[in-house]
Amino acid sequence: MSGKYKAAIFDLDGVLVDTAKYHFLAWKELAESLNFEFTQKDNELLKGVSRMESLNILLHLGGLAFSDEEKEKIAREKNERYVEYISKIDESDLLPGTVALLEELQYREIKTAIGSASKNTPLIIERLGIKKYFGAISDGNIIKRAKPDPEVFIKAASMLSVLPGDCVVFEDARAGIQAAKNAGMYAVGVGKKEDLPGADEWIASLGELNTDKLF
Ligand code: B16
Ligand code: MG
């Protein structure tokens, strides 16, 4: 069937751009400064999770506890490290197939939005030069409830003036797939089926998408 969906909503980190490695480096440096080791495998637990929730998971792994005030300070430090990394990214950090898909959707007049937990979304899309492809940006700066709550995607649909049922979400995190399904949207998992239960279909990267089937 073609022409079924009217809009595409993209998660940012891990779907459009490979920022997970920079989040990892920043969290690892922070863990080292607190005298414990943080591994790539640990980093998987933080994908799609908000900054504060990520810090809670990290501190739990390190067996440490801090006051809310101290945690705010540590999260700020981590973000400063992360921002230093992403201030240097460019188009080469985009994941395979991203620009071709965004160009195609624009040509076909399919509405597009970003639905990301990241408060750094404006900086990232500016650095990548992809702002022009999106009709709406729903991100960590405007939402109150983290994925798997559907708020970030519901807001994106409303900003695009489309119904949730008319949207396809592209997500690389388990909580993001749940958020999309909680929003009543079609969910494409960008990653492995075993890592992303509950999605409606799975692709390894955006370059693999069969757009005729969805739009
Ligand atoms: P920030 P997404 C998420 O972005 C990341 O996957 C996650 O690792 C990060 O902790 C979260 O954004 C918050 O990011 O610290 O930049 O506000 O995958 O929802 O695009
Ligand atoms: Mg993601």
**Same domain for 43 and 74:** yes
- Whole-number average pLDDT of the chain: 96
**Same domain for 61 and 143:** no
- CA quadruple 22, 28, 32, 34: dihedral sign: positive
What CATH number is given to the structural domain containing 40? 1.10.150.240
pLDDT, residue 88, reads 95
Region of 192 (left: φ > 0; alpha: ψ -120 to 50; beta: rest) is: beta
**Same domain for 101 and 176:** yes
Question: What does the pLDDT look like over 5-25, one tens digit per residue?
Answer: 999 999 999 999 999 999 999
What CATH number is given to the structural domain containing 128? 3.40.50.1000
Pocket test for ligand 1, best of 21, 74, 116 (most atoms within 8 A of CB): 116
Q: Is the pLDDT of residue 191 over 60?
A: yes
| More confident of the two residues 102 and 1 | 102
Question: What does the pLDDT look like over 143-190, one tens digit per residue?
Answer: 999 999 999 999 999 999 999 999 999 999 999 999 999 999 999 999
Question: What does the pLDDT look like over 67-81, one tens digit per residue?
Answer: 999 999 999 999 999
Q: Which atom of ligand 1 is nearest to the CA of 114?
A: 20
Give DSSP secondary structure letters for 77-131: HHHHHHHHHHTT--GGGBPTTHHHHHHHHHHTT-EEEEE-S-TTHHHHHHHHT-G
**Same domain for 159 and 190:** yes
Q: Is the pLDDT of residue 44 over 90?
A: no
Number of continuous H segments (helices) and E segments (strands) in the chain: 9, 6
The whole model's pTM is what? 0.94
Ligand 1 atom 8, closest CA: 47
**Same domain for 136 and 205:** yes
**Same domain for 67 and 100:** no
Report, as an integer, the average pLDDT of 202-210: 96
Is residue 11 part of the annotated active site? The answer reads yes
The number of beta carbons lying within 10 Å of the beta carbon of residue 37 is 10
Is the CB of residue 112 less than 8 Å from the CB of residue 135? yes
- Residue 14 placed within a domain: yes
| More confident of the two residues 159 and 45 | 159
* Residue finishing a domain among 86, 113, 140: 86
**Same domain for 104 and 73:** no
**Same domain for 205 and 137:** yes
- Residue 2 placed within a domain: no
**Same domain for 104 and 35:** no
* Residue finishing a domain among 51, 86, 121: 86
**Residue 148: cis peptide before it, omega within 30 degrees of 0:** yes
Report how far Cα 139 is from the mean position of its chain's Cα atoms: 9
Contacts of 146 (CB under 8 A, 6+ apart): 49, 50, 53, 117, 175
**Same domain for 118 and 49:** no
Interhelix angle for 20-33 vs 68-86, to 10°? 130
**Same domain for 205 and 127:** yes
Report, as an integer, the average pLDDT of 93-109: 96
Q: What is each CA distance from 85 to 14, 136, 150, in whole angstroms?
A: 16, 25, 29
Domain membership of residue 26 as a residue range: 20-86
Ligand 2 center from residue 175 Cα (angstroms): 9
Weakest-pLDDT range from 43-47, 152-156, 208-212:
43-47
Ligand 2 center from residue 170 Cα (angstroms): 9
pLDDT, residue 1, reads 45
**Same domain for 75 and 111:** no
Report, as an integer, the average pLDDT of 105-119: 97
pLDDT, residue 52, reads 95
Ligand 1 center from residue 39 Cα (angstroms): 18
Q: Minimal CA–CA distance to 184: which of 198, 200, 164? A: 164
